[in-house]
C-alpha cells in the first residue's frame, strides 16, 4: 500500500492510498457516505492478481483531505482531474460505491475524455425536492431528514460514535453485531466476524479522523439537485446493484439506468447493499472494468454466481 497527499490548485490537499498492482490499470475508487480512503486492513489481493492499480481517495472533509466549503458534486470531478495529473495518469476507470456513486456519475459526465468507463456500485440516485428516493429504508430516510433539519443532532451522534471507536472499540463491535437488524440479512453477513468489524472500525475511524462535520454535510449535498443528467453521460457505465437493496433502492437505479445511453446493468438477485464486500462480486466488478478497457462487450463476460 502506498499513500500520499495530493496538492490541489486552491491550496487544499487530497489524501490518496493505492492498493494492488502499482504498474497496473489505474482505477480510482470513491468511498460511500460517510467513508474514507482506507478500504482494507491489508493490500487488496484481488486487485493485485488482476493487475489493477486501485487508487482510493478521501473526499473533502473526510480522513486527511482538507474540507472544501460549499462544494458540489461537479467540484469533485475537478479534484479528480487534478489528482490524475499529479499521479501522471492520462486515462483511467472509476468506481463509486453507495454515496460515492453520485460522485462517480459526476466524473463520468464531466471527465469523459479521460475515462475508460465508470462503475456505479449500490449507488444512490438523485432525490426529488430533497426527499429520499421511494423505497428507501426508514433508517436512511430519517438520517437524511435529520441531516437537513437537525444537523446538530446528527453531529452529536457521530461524535458519540467517534468516542466509542477510540475509547471502547469492543463495545462498538458488539453493538454493531447486535444493532444491524434493520439491514437485510445478506448485508448482515458482512458485520459478523472480528476481522470484518475491525475493517469497519478502521474505515469509519478514518472518516471521523479530523471532524465529523462532513458526515453531516455530504448527505445534504447528495439530496440537492445534481446539476447534470444521466442521459447526458457518454462514458460506458456499469451498474451493479442488489435486488434487495433498500439503502439505495434498486427500482430507482433501474429508472436511472434506462436514461444512460451506454449502460450495462448487473442486478444481483438476493443481494443487498454491501456488494463490494463480497469477494466474488468485487472480482466481477474489477474484471468488467478491465474488459471495458479492452473494448470487449459485457455479453462476453461470464459472471457466475
| pLDDT, tens only, 59-108 | 999 999 999 999 999 999 999 999 999 999 999 999 999 999 999 999 99
Contact assessment for residue 113 and residue 138, using Cβ atoms and an 8 Å cutoff: no
CA distance 107 to 115: 9
DSSP 303: -
Residue among 243, 285, 247 at smallest CA distance from 264 = 285
Residue 297 has pLDDT above 70, yes or no: no
Q: Which three cell numbers stand for residue 300?
A: 462476453
Helices (H) and strands (E) in the chain, counts: 11, 8
**Rounded to the nearest 5°, which phi and psi values hold at 264?**
-120, 125
How do beta strands 263-268 and 237-242 pair?
parallel
CATH 3.40.50.1820 is held by the domain 2-300? yes
- Strand-strand pairing, 52-57 and 13-20: antiparallel
Task: Work out the average pLDDT over 8-37.
Answer: 97
Q: Which three cell numbers stand for residue 226?
A: 445534481
> Vertex 264, ends 263 and 268: CA angle to 5°?
135
Q: How many CA atoms lie within 13 A of 23 on its CB side?
A: 0
First to last CA, the chain: 30
Say how far apart CA 142 and CA 164 lie, in whole Å: 22
Q: What is the domain partition of the chain in residue ranges?
A: 2-300
pLDDT digits (tens, 9 = 90+) for 149-206: 999 999 999 999 999 999 999 999 988 888 777 888 999 999 988 899 999 999 999 9
Per residue in 202-261, pLDDT tens?
999 999 999 999 999 999 999 999 999 999 999 999 999 999 999 999 999 999 999 999
- The count of residues in the chain is 305
Give the containing element (helix H, strand E) for 141. helix 138-149
Predicted TM-score (pTM) of this structure:
0.94
Q: Is 183 left (phi over 0), alpha (psi -120 to 50) or beta?
A: beta
Amino acid at each position: 500500500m502506498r499513500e500520499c497527499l495530493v496538492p490541489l490548485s486552491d491550496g487544499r490537499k487530497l489524501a490518496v492510498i493505492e492498493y494492488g498492482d502499482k504498474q497496473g490499470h489505474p482505477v480510482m475508487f470513491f468511498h460511500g457516505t460517510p467513508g474514507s480512503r482506507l478500504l482494507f486492513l491489508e493490500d487488496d489481493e484481488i486487485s493485485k492478481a488482476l493487475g489493477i492499480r486501485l487508487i482510493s481517495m478521501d473526499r473533502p472533509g473526510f480522513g486527511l483531505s482538507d474540507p472544501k466549503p460549499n462544494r458540489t458534486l461537479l467540484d469533485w470531478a475537478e479534484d479528480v482531474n487534478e489528482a490524475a495529473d499529479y499521479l501522471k495518469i492520462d486515462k483511467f476507470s472509476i468506481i463509486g460505491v453507495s454515496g460515492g456513486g453520485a460522485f462517480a456519475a459526476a466524473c463520468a459526465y464531466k471527465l469523459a475524455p479521460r475515462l475508460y468507463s465508470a462503475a456505479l456500485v449500490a449507488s444512490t440516485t438523485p432525490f426529488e425536492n430533497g426527499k429520499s428516493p421511494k423505497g428507501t429504508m426508514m433508517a436512511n430516510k430519517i438520517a437524511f431528514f435529520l441531516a437537513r433539519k437537525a444537523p446538530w443532532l446528527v453531529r452529536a451522534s457521530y461524535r458519540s460514535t467517534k468516542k466509542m471507536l477510540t475509547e471502547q472499540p469492543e463495545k462498538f463491535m458488539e453493538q454493531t453485531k447486535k444493532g444491524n437488524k434493520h439491514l437485510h440479512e445478506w448485508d448482515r453477513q458482512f458485520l459478523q466476524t472480528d476481522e470484518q468489524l475491525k475493517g469497519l472500525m478502521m474505515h469509519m475511524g478514518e472518516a471521523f479522523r479530523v471532524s465529523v462535520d462532513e458526515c453531516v454535510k455530504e448527505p445534504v449535498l447528495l439530496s440537492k439537485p445534481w446539476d447534470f443528467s444521466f442521459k447526458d453521460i457518454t462514458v460506458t457505465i456499469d451498474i451493479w446493484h442488489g435486488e434487495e437493496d433498500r439503502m439505495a433502492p434498486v427500482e430507482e437505479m433501474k429508472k436511472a439506468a434506462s436514461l444512460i445511453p451506454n449502460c450495462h446493468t448487473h442486478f444481483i438477485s438476493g443481494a443487498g447493499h454491501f456488494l463490494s464486500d463480497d469477494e466474488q462480486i468485487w472480482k466481477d466488478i474489477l474484471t468488467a472494468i478491465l474488459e471495458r478497457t479492452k473494448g470487449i462487450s459485457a455479453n462476453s463476460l461470464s459472471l457466475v454466481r
